Amino acid sequence: MVTSDKLLPVHKRFNISFSHGEGVYLFSEGKKYLDFGAGIAVNCLGHCHPKMVDALTVQAKKLWHVSNIYNGNELNLYAEKLVANSFADYVFFCNSGAEAIEAVIKTIRRHFYCKNQAHKNRIITFSGAFHGRTIATISAAAKPKYLEGFEPKLEGFDNVEFGNIEAVINSITENTAGILIEPIQGEEGIRVSDKKFIAQLRKIADEKGLLLAFDEVQCGMGRTAYLHAHQYYEVKPDLIALAKSIAGGFPLGACLATKNAASGMTLGVHGTTYGGNPLAMAVANSVLDVMLTDGFFEKVKKNATLLKNRLEKIKNENNDLIDEIRGVGMMLGIKINQKIENTKLVEIMMQNGLLTVVAGENVIRILPPLIIDENHINEAKEKIEISLRQLK
Ligand code: PLP
């Protein structure tokens, strides 16, 4: 394995490198790993899905990049399809989750600016949320750990307690423009908003004339066993940010908005070089095609329930180590008690050939590709059980 000390040392990396991936498995030095982390909720169709490989290779032989000063077939085709399968009227493509959130923030501010209400420029956000690592997104999430050394933070966010509707109501002023929520908090430990809270946010936003935005970067594009996370909540937002699973591993982000929410986003006010790149569009199009095939989400739902049941069983047999199984669909968390650190168990599971991801609150994230079947679930169960036994 080649290692380099020239990489800016901001990422904590395991000393493992994968040579290739196939379906729900990754391979390293001849060893096979069941990938239940999916690149932190990215590889929604597993590794090297044939439809995605086809889409990418066909496109790679045709056209890699044209500037957004030109029209693009792949761009228009995918925009039509994604918007048709959403609440939205418009989409803006970018390259990452943080950029998608940035577009959400700018769209909200511009909306009120163009209505001669420029004073309405503040956005209510929630404790525990993760929105990315740019100055705007760390300011929105307001987590001290990510802000340390990067102040002054960007003005314009009122961060309130997650799940506390009174705190939301009390923080609304004549300057409030919108609400931005990560409805299922991934990084913080699979913290799931309840449906009532999200419905209340919609109601308050309507009553006060605010825009409601969901950060679906991690919980969207199939993770909840619905195409969009807000479909699980049965609430229509005004804007959403997407990334991660949207192109199953090809870098792509998107901001979707209603015509009303996007009313201030006129010619020249926002832009990007790579957003809507033909390679990204072709791959994303193939991902969406697979997700839209008949029965895809029924199968995801069935397997997600099976997976959760298996995890609950493991929990019941290991109450001394596991406090709780939480989450929705294929976005699940195992909350470990204080006796052990999640990092330790993640490492042991990795040694046993199962990849998972740590999160806040001593939680281990279980984020498998959406294409797993019962055999993969049983294999994961066995590997978790073996790992827990090794801890005792
Ligand atoms: N929002 C959420 C909910 C995320 O989980 C992430 C990344 O983990 C982001 C935004 C930022 O996405 P990116 O790392 O692609 O900028």
Is the shortest distance between the CB of 217 and ligand 1 below 6 Å? yes
Mean pLDDT of 216-227: 98
Tokens of 184: 């299922």
Mean pLDDT of 157-177: 98
How do residues 296-344 score in pLDDT, each as one tens digit?
999 999 999 999 999 999 999 999 999 999 999 999 999 999 889 999 9
Residues 6+ apart with CB under 8 A from 284: 78, 82, 246, 247, 248, 250, 252
Ligand 1: does its nearest atom lie under 6 Å from the Cβ of 243?
yes
Atom of ligand 1 nearest to the CA of 134: 16
244 CA closest ligand 1 atom index: 15
pLDDT over 90 (residue 25): yes
136 CA distance to ligand 1 middle (Å)? 13
H or E element that contains 282: helix 278-291
Nearest atom in ligand 1 to 137's CA: 10
- The model's pLDDT over 57-88, given as tens digits with 9 standing for 90+, comes to 999 999 999 999 999 999 999 999 999 999 99
Separation of 97 CA from ligand 1 center, angstroms?
5
- pLDDT-derived band at 173 (thresholds 50, 70, 90) equals very high
The pLDDT tens digits for 104-118 are 999 999 999 999 999
Ligand 1 pocket, mutate which of 143, 184, 218 (most atoms under 8 A from CB): 218
* pLDDT score for 254: 99
In tens, the pLDDT along 139-154 reads 999 999 999 999 999 9
Distance CA(178)–CA(78), nearest Å, equals 28
Candidate from 93, 181, 217 with most ligand 1 atoms within 8 A of CB, to mutate = 217
Structure tokens at 256: 């979707």
Ligand 1 atom 12: the closest Cα is on which residue? 97
Residue nearest to atom 10 of ligand 1 (CA): 131
**For residue 328, how far is its CA from the centre of ligand 1 (angstroms)?**
18
Rounded to an integer, the average pLDDT of 222-239 is 98
Q: 214 in ligand 1 pocket by Cβ < 6 Å?
A: no
Whether cis (ω within 30° of 0) applies to the bond prior to 152 is yes
Q: Identify the pLDDT of residue 2.
A: 84
Q: What is the mean pLDDT of residues 177-182?
A: 99
Give the per-residue pLDDT at 1.
80
Q: Which pLDDT belongs to residue 302?
A: 98
Cα(249)–Cα(282) distance, integer angstroms: 12
Q: What is the mean pLDDT of the chain?
A: 97
Q: From the CB of 188, is ligand 1 less than 6 Å away?
A: no
For residue 330, the model assigns a pLDDT of 98
Instruction: Please tell me the residue having the least CA distance from ligand 1 atom 13.
Output: 97
Ligand 1: nearest atom to the Cα of 187: 5
Q: What pLDDT sits at residue 192?
A: 98
Q: Is the confidence at residue 20, as pLDDT, over 90?
A: yes
pLDDT (0 to 100) of residue 314? 98
Length of the chain in terms of residues written: 392
Phi, psi (5° rounding) for residue 331?
A: -125, 85
Q: Has residue 205 got a pLDDT over 90?
A: yes
Instruction: Check residue 226 and give its pLDDT.
Output: 98
Q: Is the CB of 42 under 6 A from ligand 1?
A: no
Instruction: Flag whether pLDDT at 253 surpasses 90.
Output: yes
pLDDT value for 108: 99
Ligand 1: distance of its center to the CA of 217 in Å?
Answer: 6
Residue 307 Cα to ligand 1 midpoint, Å, equals: 25
> What is the number of other CB atoms lying within 10 angstroms of the CB of residue 169?
14
Q: Which helix (H) or strand (E) holds 273?
A: none
What tens digit of pLDDT does each residue of 263-303 get?
999 999 999 999 999 999 999 999 999 999 999 999 999 99
Chain centroid to CA 196: how far?
A: 22
